[in-house]
Structure 1
Amino acid sequence: MNSIGKLGAMQKLIKGGRAMPAAAISDDSVLVKKIVAEHSPEGIEYDVRPLLHIVEDVLIYSTLSSDSATTAALTRADHVEDRSHRPGHTNMLEALSAKIDRISCEISYKTLNGVDAHSTTIAIFDMLTIYKWDVKIVLALAAFALTYGEFWLLAQIHDTNQLAKSMAILKLLPSIMEHGSSLKPRFDTLNDLVNNILEVTKCVIEFHDLPAQYITQDISAYTTAYNYIPVASYWATRSIVACAAQITSLTTLGYEIFTSTDAWELSTLIFKLKNIVDHLRQLLNSCHEHIGKKMDAEAYQMLRELFSKPHTDNMKVLKALIYAQDDILPLYDGVTKKRVSLEPLRRKNVLLLFSGMEISTDELLILEQIYNESKAHAPRMESRYELVWIPIVDPNSEWIEPKQKQFEILQESMSWYSVYHPSLIGKPVIWFIQREWKYKNKPILVVLDPQGRVSCPNAIHMMWIWGSAAYPFTSSREEALWKEETWRLELLVDGIDQEILNWVKDGKYIFLFGGDDPEWVRRFVKEARRVATATQIPLEMVYVGKSNKREQVQKIIDTIIRDKLNTQYWSEQSMIWFFWTRLQSMLFSKLQLKQTDDDDHVMQEIKKLLSYDKQGGWIVLARGSHIVVNGHATTGLQTLVEYDAVWKELADRDGFEPAFKNHYDKVHSIVSPCCRFEFSHSMGRIPERLTCPECRRNMHVLTTFQCCHDEKIDEDFFVSTVTPPTI
Structure 2
Amino acid sequence: MVLLNYISSYAWHAKVVLTLAAFAVIFGEFWLVAQLSAENTLAKSVALLKQLPDIAENFMSMKPHFEALIRLVKAAMDVTMCIVEFKELPSEYISEDTPPMSISSTTEAWELSSLAHKVSSIYEHLKNQLVLCYQYIDDKRHIEAFHNLIRLFETVHVDNMKILRALIYAKDDVLPLVDGTAKSRVSLEVLRRKHVLLLISDLDLSQEEILVLDNLYKDARARGDTQYEMVWIPIVDKATWNDMSKQKFEYLQSLMAWYSVYDPFIIEPSAVKYIKEVWNFSKKAILVALDPQGRLSSPNAVHMIWIWGNLAFPFTSEKEESLWKQEIWSLELLVDGIDPTVLEWMTEGKLICLYGGEDLEWIEKFTATAISVAKAGKFELEMAYAGKSNAKERMQKMIKTFTTRKFSYFWPNVTSIWFFWTRLESMLYSKLLHGRTVEKDEIMSEVMTVLSFDGSDRGWAIFCRGATEMARAKGDSALRCLQDFDKWKGRIEEDGVVHAINDYLNKNKPPHHCNRLILPGSTGGIPQKVVCAECGRQMEKYFMYRCCVE
TM-score tier (shorter): 0.7 to 0.9
Q: Which amino acid aligns with 2:229?
A: E
TM-aligned CA distance change 1:653 to 1:452, over 3 Å: closer
For the residues of structure 2 that align with 1:278 and 1:424, how far apart are their CA atoms? 30
Structure 2 length-normalised TM:
0.79
Amino acid at match of 1:377: R
Aligned position for 1:387: 230
Q: Which residue of 2 aligns with 1:429?
A: 271
Tell me, what secondary structure is at the counterpart of 2:164? helix
Shift of 1:555: 4.1
Q: 1:623: Cα distance to partner? A: 0.7
Greater strand proportion: 2
- Report what 2:222 is aligned to: 376
Structure number, greater radius of gyration: 1
* 2:470 is equivalent to residue 549 of structure 1: no
Structure 2 vs 1, CA of residues 276 and 523 (structure 1 numbering), >3 Å: closer, same or farther? same
Q: Counterpart of 1:605?
A: 446
Equivalent runs, 1:335-414 vs 2, <5 Å:
335-379=181-225, 383=227, 385-395=228-238, 397-414=239-256
Name the residue aligned to 1:448: 290
Report the secondary structure of 1:451's partner residue: coil
The 1:553–1:627 alpha-carbon spacing in structure 2 relative to 1, beyond 3 Å, is farther
Any idea what SS the aligned residue of 2:172 has?
coil
| Alpha-carbon spacing, 1:553–1:415, altered in 2? closer, same or farther (3 Å) | closer
Among 25, 33, 41, the alignment partner of 1:104 is 25
Q: Distance in 2 between matches of 1:557 and 1:706?
A: 30
Q: 1:622-664, CA deviations, whole angstroms, 9 ceiling, x for partnerless residues? A: 11322412332222222222323x3233345533221101111
- Tell me: CA distance 1:105–1:569, structure 2 relative to 1, closer, same or farther (3 Å): closer
Give the match for residue 311 of structure 2: 469
Aligned residue number for residue 531 of structure 1: 373
- TM-fit CA distance, 1:550: 2.9
Relative to structure 1, is the Cα distance of residues 106 and 327 closer, same or farther in structure 2, using a 3 angstrom cutoff? closer
Query: Post-superposition shift, 1:561?
Result: 4.4
Amino acid at match of 2:152: L
Q: Distance in 2 between matches of 1:708 and 1:455?
A: 37
Match 2:409 to one of 565, 568, 572: 568
Name the CA distance, whole Å, in 2 between partners of 1:461 and 1:318.
23
| Cα distance change on mapping 1:606 and 1:263 into 2, 3 Å | same
CA–CA distance in structure 2, aligned partners of residues 285 and 366 of structure 1:
46
Quote the residue 1:580 is aligned against: 421
> Is the CA contact (8 Å cut-off) linking 2:471 and 2:498 kept in structure 1?
no
Where 1:622 maps in the other structure, the secondary structure is strand
The answer (yes or no) to whether the contact 1:313–1:450 under 8 Å persists in 2 is yes
Asked if the contact 2:369/2:483 (under 8 Å) is kept, the reply is yes
Deviation at 1:541, TM superposition (A): 0.7
Conserved? CA contact 2:200–2:233, under 8 Å: yes
Q: 1:563 offset after TM fit, Å?
A: 4.2
Give matches, 1:174-573, under 5 Å.
259-379=105-225, 383=227, 385-395=228-238, 397-565=239-407, 567-573=408-414
1:102 deviation in Å?
A: 9.3
Contact 1:516 1:556 in 2 (8 A): yes
Secondary structure, aligned partner of 1:437:
coil
Q: 1:676 aligned to 2:509?
A: no
* Paired residues, number: 501
Partner of 2:18: none
Tell me if structure 2 keeps the 8 A contact 1:507–1:625. Answer: no
Offset at 1:275? 0.8
Q: Deviations over 1:394-452 (max 9, x none)?
A: 24x24322222222222233222211211111332222112222211121111111111
Inter-partner Cα distance in structure 2 for 1:227 and 1:357: 55
C-alpha distance in structure 2 between counterparts of 1:415 and 1:449, whole Å: 21
Map 1:3-14 → 2, pairs under 5 A: none
Q: 1:227 & 1:551 partners in 2: Cα distance? A: 72
CA 252–604 in structure 1, closer or farther in 2 if over 3 Å, else same: farther
C-alpha distance in 1, partners of 2:26/2:150? 59
AA in 2 matched with 1:487: W
In structure 2, the CA distance between the partners of 1:647 and 1:102, relative to structure 1 (3 Å rule), is closer
Contact 1:550 1:710 in 2 (8 A): no
Q: Which moved more, 1:341-350 or 1:511-520?
A: 341-350
Q: CA deviation at 1:355?
A: 1.1
Give CA-to-partner distance per residue, 1:542-590, whole Å, 9 cap, x none. 111100223333444444445443x112221121112112222222222
TM-score (norm 1): 0.61
CA deviation string 1:255-304 (max 9, x = no partner): 97992233223222211011112222333334444444343333322222
Distance 1:349 1:282, change over 3 A: same
What is the distance in 1 between the residues matched to 2:229 and 2:423?
A: 23
Shift of 1:512: 0.9
Deviation (angstroms), 1:250: 10
Is the contact made by 2:399 and 2:413 (CA closer than 8 Å) also made in structure 1?
no
Distance of 1:638 and 1:370 partners within structure 2: 41
State the alpha-carbon separation in 1 of the partners of residues 30 and 291 from structure 2.
65
| 2:260 match: secondary structure | strand
In 1, Cα distance between equivalents of 2:163 and 2:27: 59
